[in-house]
Amino acid sequence: MKHLALFVALMGAPWFLPCSAQTIQVSKDNRTIAITTSDEATRPADTGQVSIGFITYGVDSDGTYAEGSRLSNAILAAVRATGVKDAQISSRDQNLRPLGEEDKVRFGKGIRFVLTQNWQVSVPATDAAKLLNVAVTAGANTSGDINWTLADSNSLEAEAAEKALTHARAVAERMAHGLNAKLGPLVYASNQTPPRGPVVFAQSAMTASRVMRKVAPLAIVPDKVTRSATVYAVFAIE
C-alpha cells in the first residue's frame, strides 16, 4: 500500500530539515520540495525452502534411535537421488527423548521414547512439490511447510525503491505546477527500506500416517514475494 508525506519549502527564514544521511538547508537561496513516498514490488517466488521431517516411537532408547537412524538416512538418500546437493540441505533439529505420560495411548502400550528430526531443503519453486512427495514417500511423516523466497531479493528491493522514487517525482511535479514553479533536479534521495520481517508464505505442515507409494505429488502453487521501500527525496524548484 502506498503512503505519502509532503513538505514544501519556499521563500522564508533559513532553517534546517534533518534527514537520515545529511542536513538539507532550506532558505530563499535553496527552494526545494521534500517528499517521502513508499511503494512495493512483487514477483512470483523462485525458491521454495521445504521443511521435511519425521517422528518415530519405540519401547526403548536404543531401538528408537536405530529406527530413527534408518528413517533419517533413507529420507536423505531419497532427497539426494532427486539431484539435491548437500549445500541445499540444512538440519534444523533432531531429538531423542522419553515419552511423556500424557500420551496415555502409547504409554499404555509400553512405548517410552520418541525421536524427531527435521531438515530444510532449498529447491527451485517448481521442484517443491516433487521434493515433498519424494520425502514423504521415503518416510518423512511430519513435512509440508514451505517458505517461498527469491534467490535475488536485492533486485526486488531495488525495484520497489525505483517505483517509490518515480512516485515521488510525479507528486513533486504536480506540487511544483500548483505553485507556478518548475521542478528542478533531484538534489538528494535516501532509500529508507523498511525493516524486513520474516518472509513466510508457508503451506500448512502435514503428517503422514504411513509411507505412501506411487502417489502423485500434491498440487502446490508457489506464492508471491513482496518487498517495500520508502524513499525520501528532495527536488529543487525553479
| Residue 233 confidence class, pLDDT cut points 50, 70, 90 | very high
On the 0-12 / 13-18 / 19+ scale of CB atoms within 10 A, 63 is middle
Residue 11, all three cell numbers: 521563500
Q: Output the pLDDT for position 70.
A: 96
Q: Does 154 have pLDDT greater than 80?
A: yes
| Residue 9 confidence class, pLDDT cut points 50, 70, 90 | very low
What is the average pLDDT value for the chain, to the nearest integer?
Answer: 82
The closest of 234, 196, 168, 189 to 21, measured between CA atoms, is 189
The closest of 185, 148, 136 to 33, measured between CA atoms, is 185
82-96 pLDDT, tens per residue? 999 999 999 999 999
- Separation CA 97–CA 74 (nearest Å): 21
pTM over cut 0.85: no
Structural domains for the chain = 4-40+153-196+229-237 (3.30.110), 47-149 (3.30.70.2970)
On the 0-12 / 13-18 / 19+ scale of CB atoms within 10 A, 39 is buried
Mean pLDDT of 9-36: 54
Q: Does 15 have pLDDT greater than 70?
A: no
Encode the chain in three state secondary structure.
CCCEEEEEECCCCCEEEECCCCEEEEECCECEEEEEEEEEEEEECCEEEEEEEEEEEECCHHHHHHHHHHHHHHHHHHHHHCCCCHHHEEEEEEEEEECCCCCHHHHHCCCCEEEEEEEEEEEEHHHHHHHHHHHHHCCCCEECCEEEECCCHHHHHHHHHHHHHHHHHHHHHHHHHHCCCCEEEEEEEEECCCCCCCCCCCCCCEECCCCCCCCCCCCCCCCEEEEEEEEEEEEEEC
Q: Output the pLDDT for position 81.
A: 97
Q: Choose the weakest-confidence range: 19-28, 90-99, 173-182, 186-195.
A: 19-28
Beta bridge partners of 124: 47
Q: Does 48 have pLDDT greater than 90?
A: yes
